[in-house]
Structure 1
Amino acid sequence: MTILVIAELSGEGASLKQATLNTLTAAALLATLTDNQIHVLIAGYEAEAAAAAAAKIAGVSKVLLGDAPHLEAGLAENIEATALTIAREYSHILVPATAYGKNIAPRIAARLDVAQISDIVAVVSADTFERPIYAGNAIATVQSIDPIKVITVRTTAFAATAAEGGCAPVEHVAVVVDSGLSHFDSREITKLERPELTAAHIIVSGGRGLGSGENYTRVLEPLADQLGAALGASRAAVDAGFVPNDYQVGQTGKIVAPHLYVAVGISGAIQHLAGMKDSKVIVAINKDPEAPIFGIADYGLIGDLFEAVPAFVDAL
């Protein structure tokens, strides 16, 4: 049987999100182990451009396009229904472990009467995978005997596959009528001048040690500007109202793995570490020498962040 990847589209549905490319890398590992092909499902409205982009991705054998107005908003009930029309033709169904994927995968698994395998970080074999547990402090190896494996993929654990190099055919699939179970009202899309947090190569994050939202802006933004970095925050900083929820990095926020992660005024609670400890290089600035963040940092500076960060900016 074949492997199916359900693509995540941008809000406008015209392009693929980066998470899809990372998920396809996991699919490619499975394809190598099982000698299977990879199909990609594009479910949206006027999504021909996204389908064409998917057809060019290296390793993709076929693109399946489900195009209908009621798929435009990406409502889970409608995406699930369309995916189920073809789901039983596949041995593995993969989605990114994003809010989008986590909304769809459990519905598909339940309708197929199989167990979902969540948040995998490694592919061991066709039926065995690794996934983090206990906030990332342990890795569980899980094996499934279900005939169809429904899997969510932690995108930070897999590099993005090449967006060019393929030439797959695009085939239209039947679309199920609107389920009527949910209704899309509106969407507010935040326009960022900085890189998207989950796709950024460099992230500067602030914690409760900054003291206020004004200090967060005054201290961290100049450093992020110099580095071309995205801005993040600990849950404590978000709960204190320093920054919006979109900035939160951690187990209940966004999972990131940039090339460089700069943690400023972050003590290193286990919840936060679970979301960023896979970063390639971690730099920590904190006045508390006992802060847990120093336990995983590659470089640590014990000192006053209000003096250290401006000094870094000046040096850059």
Structure 2
Amino acid sequence: MSQAPANPPPAKKAAGGRKFELSEELKAYKGVWVIVEQERGKVHTVSYELLGEARKLADKLGVEVGAVILGAPGPFINEISGEAIAYGADVVYTVLDAALAEYRTEPYSKVMTDVVNTFKPEIVLLGASTLGRDLAGAIATTLLTGLTADCTELDISPENRSLAATRPTFGGTLLCTIQTLAYRPQMATIRPRVMQMPERDGTRTGRVVEVTPNLAEDIFVTKVLDFIPDSDQEEAQLAFADIIVSGGKGLQKAENFKLVWDLAEVLGAEVGASRPCTQAGWVTSDRQVGQTGKTVRPKLYIAAGISGAIQHRVGCENSDVILAINSDPNAPIFDFAHHGIVGDALQILPALTEQFRQRRLVNRKAS
């Protein structure tokens, strides 16, 4: 297995413009893969979300869903393999070696390049996490193929059976659909909480293929010195919050953002913000919701003083319930919010906070 192969000859464009004829070598690529992101036995939920999406794509193509698990040998591998099958995989490729115990770009990209060249999947999906973004770019480079990053929608083109990957562009003002017609595999990354979590089916069965990588630790220049779990960091965990209260420039000045913090505290919620607020320094950038920030999918999303431009919309529109507060009745956010309050957020936020505080006191007394 070679580390940096030349891609197969490109597909030929047929007369008529849009229809492509794949070369025989490209036709050999079959299946939709998800690279399962796991660290020390803990799987990132985006991997299960992608398995659900991969299942839909594979069913349209009439092919199998593959899940790839990289790591060191351990008892948790069998458990992860079973979960991958329960969430939609038909086959699980376990790639195990002591050199893969912790994520590093060099060994992971070498192994994935070799595995893809051996088994030839036509589509490879990764989560747009810190790890996924790093790995996706590395292996797309070594495989000499295309990569569409931060997608919000995936589908199969009925014209040529290629992956149609949609993502915001021009600062989130437009949506564009990209197809990698002439190269394989087709690659895409998708942010956590963009795709819906599929139903787990414990009755599903699948097979496991064990892959032995050709690795030697001494050829890699990087070493892992320490591991800091996300739970030990002080950054906001917006992608996993059930309730988020976000503020926008409609709050007028940084001091007024305290009203968002007050409501979030009463609700036990995370605090989010629009891009103008983080750019102005009202809150830290890890709390930005939107195309250039975090994509969220909470049970309740409260947007106070946020206009709802597409840059912000793509970050929150998949929330179960969106409550918008804005003084402009024509604000774009009312086009996709489930409930709207037309009014001054500086007056409404304190009223909501007090009402929820009183309700919480009543519930405590009742219990």
Please list, as runs of the form range in 1=range in 2, the aligned pairs for 1:45-124 lying within 5 A after superposition.
Answer: 45=72, 48-56=75-83, 57-88=86-117, 89=119, 90-118=121-149, 119=151, 121-124=153-156
Cα 1:239/1:48, change in 2 over 3 Å: farther
| Partner deviation per Cα, 1:169-220 (whole Å, 9 max, x = no partner) | 44432233345254434454443899942233432112342733x754x433
Displacement after TM superposition at 1:20 (Å)? 0.3
Displacement after TM superposition at 1:83 (Å)? 1.1
Please list, as runs of the form range in 1=range in 2, the aligned pairs for 1:3-22 lying within 5 A after superposition.
Answer: 3-10=32-39, 13-22=40-49
Aligned to 1:211: 253
Q: Is 2:250 the partner of 1:202?
A: no
| Partner deviation per Cα, 1:193-252 (whole Å, 9 max, x = no partner) | 99942233432112342733x754x43344335545333222333334443332221121
Contact 2:290 2:313 in 1 (8 A): yes
Aligned counterpart for 1:152 among listed residues 186, 189, 214 = 189
Q: Residue 87 of structure 2 aligns to a residue in which SS?
A: coil
Q: State the TM-score, normalized to the length of structure 2.
A: 0.72
Displacement after TM superposition at 1:136 (Å)? 5.8
Displacement after TM superposition at 1:295 (Å)? 5.0
Contact 1:220 1:309 in 2 (8 A): yes
Aligned to 2:167: 132
| Partner deviation per Cα, 1:56-90 (whole Å, 9 max, x = no partner) | 32332232223344433322222111112210212
Aligned to 1:232: 272
Q: Residue 114 of structure 1 aligns to a residue in which SS?
A: coil
Contact 1:85 1:174 in 2 (8 A): no
Aligned counterpart for 2:216 among listed residues 166, 177, 185 = 177
Q: Is 2:357 the partner of 1:313?
A: no
Cα 1:50/1:230, change in 2 over 3 Å: farther
Displacement after TM superposition at 1:28 (Å)? 0.4
Cα 1:309/1:143, change in 2 over 3 Å: same
Structure-2 separation of matches of 1:142 and 1:155: 22
Alpha carbon RMSD of aligned pairs, Å?
A: 3.2
Contact 1:21 1:162 in 2 (8 A): no
Displacement after TM superposition at 1:49 (Å)? 1.6
Q: Residue 69 of structure 2 aligns to a residue in which SS?
A: strand
Give the share of equivalent positions with the same residue, in percent.
Answer: 29
What amino acid maps onto 1:282 in structure 2? I
Contact 2:302 2:322 in 1 (8 A): yes
Displacement after TM superposition at 1:17 (Å)? 0.9
What amino acid maps onto 1:8 in structure 2? E
Contact 1:51 1:65 in 2 (8 A): no
Cα 1:140/1:150, change in 2 over 3 Å: closer
Displacement after TM superposition at 1:141 (Å)? 5.4
Q: Residue 66 of structure 2 aligns to a residue in which SS?
A: strand
Contact 1:199 1:258 in 2 (8 A): yes
Q: Residue 110 of structure 2 aligns to a residue in which SS?
A: helix
Aligned to 1:282: 322
Contact 1:51 1:63 in 2 (8 A): no
Displacement after TM superposition at 1:113 (Å)? 1.9
Contact 2:236 2:286 in 1 (8 A): no
Structure-2 separation of matches of 1:274 and 1:45: 36
Cα 1:232/1:187, change in 2 over 3 Å: farther
Q: Residue 293 of structure 2 aligns to a residue in which SS?
A: coil
Gaps in structure 1 of 5+ consecutive residues? none
Q: Which has the larger radius of gyration?
A: 2
| Partner deviation per Cα, 1:226-282 (whole Å, 9 max, x = no partner) | 545333222333334443332221121112243432112334455333422343443
Displacement after TM superposition at 1:158 (Å)? 2.4
Q: Residue 48 of structure 2 aligns to a residue in which SS?
A: helix
Structure-2 separation of matches of 1:169 and 1:270: 42
Q: Residue 65 of structure 1 aligns to a residue in which SS?
A: strand
Size of the aligned set, in residue pairs, is 312
Aligned to 1:42: 69
Cα 1:278/1:162, change in 2 over 3 Å: closer
Q: State the TM-score, normalized to the length of structure 1.
A: 0.82
Structure-1 separation of matches of 2:152 and 2:326: 32
